[in-house]
């Protein structure tokens, strides 16, 4: 007897892409979705090269046959990626909306759904495509774990593991040379990566965007360590960490902007603030110079940067990516679109993409990691 449901599923053709920055675990997610979609639900899968850039240019990748074999442990993404989003394409100093081209490629390939693996910008782009009439499901990836409504993201565990090992290795140098060693980690807006890696590696100071630091208090705390015979300090700092005086400057600037441009919308005011903050990011070198001048202790910087995005994904990320990919394929088979899959208390689930798009996930100030760090004497400079 013919299973009608399986016959319907076999007619489905699904597109998949990876967008935004790369991170470990993307290939595992592609594999988890693709193999489940093909082997369990009988679907046809095609990829798009370099994220949404490949979608609007209709640059496809054949994912049939053995294309999904031997990619579980590979870093990066076999599909390539880019930061381009269809509704905000920059060409000749103009911002163009190319949602129409994305829709045309979707129809030309006779797709039944599009799976997008990406971060917060990808969620925003996915919401625009949904509004244009596409069936979309997303998977969350982020080395800094900044995606709301999921406990963790693809890539976070590996980034944390790399950061922890790096800080571990710097301890011996800091101890031998009696220096302040500052380690800058990814995280422009949230401190999940810096907090967790700093806690795991025993950083003496942890600076995250959620807690503005007072340089004088920070210097005083480091000097107290020195006077107590602890002749070195490891400072783990998120790239978006800010001093309290810089935060005060932002707030004054925002008020002045609102008074000067009263006709601007709330979104325009927020964008102005975002531009201002981007201008003053990368303050780690200034922090090192000011700490050295304030304490008299030689300071050195190590910036991990893209190192945190590279290499083989951890076992945890491979399992997570496979689990989320397989679950996304199940949702496609059930025609459940417009959602992001995620992990909630250890179980797979989904939430509407509209609830995730343009949202943030800052570290709560009462989070157990933060409370534990304070209890063992970690310095936050506040």
Q: Kindly report, residue by residue over 260-274, the tens digit of the pLDDT.
A: 666 666 666 566 666
Number of domains in the chain: 2
CATH of residue 26: 3.40.50.450
319-336 confidence digits (pLDDT tens): 999 999 999 999 999 999
Let me know: does 73 contact 313? Beta carbons within 8 Å: yes
Are residues 231 and 370 both part of a single domain? yes
Q: Please state, rounded to an integer, the average pLDDT across all residues of the chain.
A: 91
- CATH number for the domain spanning 294: value is 3.40.50.460
CA 138 to chain centre: 14
> Cα 365 vs. chain centroid, distance in angstroms?
20
Predicted confidence at residue 32, as pLDDT, reads 98
Mark whether 126 and 230 lie in a shared domain.
no
Residue 284 pLDDT greater than 80, yes or no:
yes
**Residue 173: HSE in the Cβ half-sphere, 13 Å Cα cutoff:** 15
- Cα–Cα distance, 307 to 309 (Å, whole number): 5
pLDDT tens figures, 236-268? 999 999 988 877 766 666 666 666 666 666 666
Q: Mean of the pLDDT values across residues 214-233?
A: 94
pLDDT band at 30, cuts 50/70/90?
very high
Q: Is there a domain that residue 349 lies in?
A: no
Residue 72 and residue 184 share a domain:
no
Residue 292 resides in a domain: yes
- Provide the residue range defining the domain that includes 283: 160-309+364-375
Residue 233 β-bridge partners: 180
Question: What's the whole-model pTM score?
Answer: 0.90
Mean pLDDT check: name the lowest of 51-55, 89-93, 130-134, 347-351. 89-93
Residues with Cβ within 8 Å of 87's Cβ and at least 6 positions away in sequence, in order, are 97, 98, 99, 125, 128
pLDDT of 233 over the 80 cut:
yes
pLDDT reported for residue 276: 60
């Amino acid at each position: 007897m013919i299973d009608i449901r399986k016959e319907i599923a076999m007619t489905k053709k699904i597109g998949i892409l990876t967008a935004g920055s790369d991170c470990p675990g993307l290939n595992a997610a592609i594999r988890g979705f693709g193999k489940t979609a093909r082997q369990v639900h009988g679907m046809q899968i095609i990829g798009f090269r370099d994220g949404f850039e490949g979608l609007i240019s209709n640059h496809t990748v054949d994912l049939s046959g053995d294309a999904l074999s031997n990619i579980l442990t590979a870093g990066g993404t076999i599909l390539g990626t880019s930061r381009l989003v269809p509704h905000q394409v920059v060409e000749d100093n103009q911002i163009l909306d190319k949602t129409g081209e994305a829709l045309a490629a979707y129809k030309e390939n006779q797709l039944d759904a599009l799976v997008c693996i990406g971060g917060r910008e990808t969620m925003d782009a996915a919401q625009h495509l949904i509004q244009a009439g596409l069936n979309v499901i997303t998977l969350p990836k982020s080395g800094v774990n900044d995606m709301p409504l999921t406990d963790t993201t693809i890539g976070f565990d590996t980034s944390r593991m790399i950061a922890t090992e790096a800080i571990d290795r710097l301890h011996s140098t800091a101890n031998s040379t009696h220096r302040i060693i500052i380690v800058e980690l990814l995280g422009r807006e949230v401190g999940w990566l810096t907090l967790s890696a700093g806690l795991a590696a025993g950083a003496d100071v942890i600076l995250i965007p959620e807690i503005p630091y007072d340089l004088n208090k920070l210097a005083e705390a480091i000097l107290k360590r020195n006077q107590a015979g602890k002749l070195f300090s490891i400072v783990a700092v998120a790239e978006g960490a800010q001093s309290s005086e810089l935060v005060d400057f932002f707030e004054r600037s925002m008020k002045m902007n609102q008074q000067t441009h009263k006709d601007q919308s709330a979104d325009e005011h927020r964008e102005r603030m975002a531009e201002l903050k981007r201008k003053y990011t990368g303050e780690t070198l200034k922090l090192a110079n000011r700490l050295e001048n304030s304490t008299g202790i030689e300071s050195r910087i190590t910036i991990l940067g893209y190192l945190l995005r590279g290499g083989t994904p951890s076992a945890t990320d491979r399992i997570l990516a496979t689990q989320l990919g397989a679950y996304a394929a199940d949702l496609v088979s059930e025609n459940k679109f417009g959602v992001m899959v995620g992990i909630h208390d250890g179980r797979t689930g989904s939430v509407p993409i509209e609830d995730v798009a343009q949202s943030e996930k800052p570290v709560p100030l009462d989070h157990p990691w933060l409370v534990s760090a304070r209890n063992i004497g970690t310095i936050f400079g506040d």
